[in-house]
Amino acid sequence: MATEVSRPTSRRAPRQQIGLIEWLRKNLFSTWYNAIITVILLYLIFQTVTSFVAWMVTAPGWPAAFTNIKLLLTWTYPVEQLWRPQAAMALVLLLLGLSSGLWGGIVRMVAFGAAAVSVLLGFVAFTFPDLPGQTSLPGWLFMFLCAGLLVGGDQAARWIGVKLRWPLIVAWLLSYPAVILILRGGLGLPIVETKLWGGLILTLILAISGIVLSFPLGVLLALGRRSSLPVIRIFCVLYIELIRGVPLVTVLFMGALLLPLFLPGGESIDALVRAIVAVTLFSAAYLAENVRGGLQSIPKGQIEAARALGLNVVQTTLLITLPQALRAVVPVLVGQFIALFKDTSLVVIIGLVDLLGAAQNIVGQPEWLGTPGGVWRETFLVIAAIYWVFSFTMSRISKRIEDQIARSRH
């Protein structure tokens, strides 16, 4: 007997229409103390915004940051070699574009976001003067090229398809040494000594080195801390807790003072390498703790199942636990990268000139001495904005990845 089942006519729940007045009453004036808070805050916001805008319009120091944009970005990197940072950046963005086409998802969001920002910066860069003796592309053209590489890479990768997967992974692995090679020179390229490096480039190099180079060490330390062999475990615990117990400045200080003593002929190690070694050793301890968190989140059944299938300890770690643990800690690692990106500003204290150092130097330039009150507010505001945009964007990306992982668990 077949019964005709008619779909029940469903209606949506009536939408709650809230008028403006109702919204205000509910969200701003629900109680007497909320009303007081709202009025006080409105007054304060009005005061702050109007005085800030008034200051921004009349502030005399903006030229300090904008005429020195080259110093902020690259510090004393030779003008005639500026095509090299551009090439390095183009290389990375091309890889990002290709990855976007291949993997989609968050990578695509990042790539297209970067492309949009590049176009925007391209328009801003129209106003920047060309530098004398510049052989690189003008800023605006380069930024448009970057956007093109991102979008073009995305399209190309979609056209090529999955074949690209392994070459791309290998290319990413090689990109770090390649970027260093392009910037520093060698293999026929003229050498640009690292003491000429600085500004935003240096900040980025320190932060990226800190994460990339500390990765193997950090993973080993995390595994060692969970090892059943007491000697190895104790060593790892001591290392991790020792580093986490002292401030980064102390570690940088050690890198600057002790590293040259530890190695024969160590005085010739340049300051950047010392800083990178210190940042790497520091970052590894924190990375180890993050990875350990990921390792602990893996259910024991996974390991037991792997062992039951006949995998040995090394295979279980490399094929079963580590991949899952690393995937789970990606958002935390992005968080660590943000922290490192901000913390690298401490290299100013050991005499390197990163973004903050460059700003401090510009503020001290004799030509701004006549400006009443100095130009530090405007200059620091500009670099604060640069730091902010980078950190904020990365924290949003991290949040997205986290949400995605949480969703895929259900």
Residues in contact with other proteins by CB under 8 A are: 27-28, 30, 34, 37-38, 41-42, 45, 228-232, 235, 242, 244-250, 253-254, 257-258, 261-264, 266, 338, 342-343, 345-346, 348-349, 356, 360, 373-374, 376-377, 380, 383-384, 387-388, 391-392, 395
- Report the distance separating Cα 394 and Cα 109, nearest Å: 12
- Residue with smaller CB distance to other proteins, 263 or 318: 263
- Residue with smaller CB distance to other proteins, 163 or 244: 244
- Let me know: does 280 contact 207? Beta carbons within 8 Å: no
Q: How far is the CB of 67 from other proteins (least distance, A)?
A: 20
Q: How far is the CB of 231 from other proteins (least distance, A)?
A: 4
Q: How far is the CB of 37 from other proteins (least distance, A)?
A: 5
What separation in angstroms does the CA of 106 have from each of 42, 113, 400, 405? 37, 10, 7, 12
- Residue with smaller CB distance to other proteins, 161 or 247: 247
Q: How far is the CB of 81 from other proteins (least distance, A)?
A: 28
Residue type, 325: A
- Residue with smaller CB distance to other proteins, 122 or 224: 224
Q: How far is the CB of 343 from other proteins (least distance, A)?
A: 7
Query: Which sign, positive or negative, has the C-alpha torsion 171, 176, 181, 187?
Result: negative
Q: How far is the CB of 140 from other proteins (least distance, A)?
A: 27
- Residue with smaller CB distance to other proteins, 179 or 259: 259
- Report the distance separating Cα 220 and Cα 279, nearest Å: 17
Query: Which sign, positive or negative, has the C-alpha torsion 12, 14, 20, 24?
Result: negative
Return the ∠ at Cα 166 (arms to 331 and 401), rounded to 5°.
15
Give the single-character DSSP code of 128.
Answer: S
Say how many residues make up the chain.
Answer: 410
- Residue with smaller CB distance to other proteins, 148 or 374: 374
